[in-house]
Amino acid sequence: MPGYRPEPDRDSRAWWDRLARHEFAVQECDACGTLRFPPRAFCAACRQEGWHWRETVPEGTVESWIVSRQPFVPGHRDPYLVVMVRLTAVPGALVYGNWRAERQPEAGERVRGTFTQVDEELTVLDWAPESRIAIRSGENSPVR
């Protein structure tokens, strides 16, 4: 995993804590039921503050991807693939992750999130083709 450590804020800390327990959760508005991501205090649909977590399966479709070949992260010189995924559960939401399959993604293909445990405190969400549902974290290397 070639990235920086995330810096959670007061809106997102609990989301990262859940991810560390290998739970993928989004917020659900108490007032209107709209699901949202990333974590924020207000519902953009009804402008109310009350919400609760809704655990969901991390799945989506491939919107785009890049193969990064410039050392934008100090110390990481090898190419890596970052995928932009449209979340199925939350309309309009885009998420990112490293690609955990030996082939490149395809436009619009269905993908499933896979929890990659970096260390005791940190887990991040990567993505793999949906057909590999039983994928285990770290099973595949990111595409070179």
Closest CB 28 distance from another protein, rounded Å: 16
DSSP 78: S
Closest CB 25 distance from another protein, rounded Å: 14
Closest CB 72 distance from another protein, rounded Å: 4
Per-residue tokens: 61 = 């479709």
Interface pick for another protein out of 30, 33, 38, 42 (rule CB under 8 A)? 38
Give the separation between CA 5 and CA 24, rounded to whole angstroms: 18
The amino acid present at 6, given as its one-letter code, is P
27 near another protein, judged by CB under 8 A: no
Give the separation between CA 38 and CA 75, rounded to whole angstroms: 29
Interface pick for another protein out of 28, 29, 37, 89 (rule CB under 8 A)? 37
Phi, psi at 119, each rounded to 5° = -160, -165
Which residues between 82 and 121 bind another protein (CB under 8 A)? 82, 84, 92-98, 107, 118
Are 102 and 140 spatial neighbours (Cβ–Cβ below 8 Å)? yes
Locate tokens 């609760």: which residue? 52
Which residues of this chain interact with another protein, rule CB under 8 A? 1-9, 11-12, 16, 37-38, 63-74, 76, 80, 82, 84, 92-98, 107, 118, 122, 124, 126
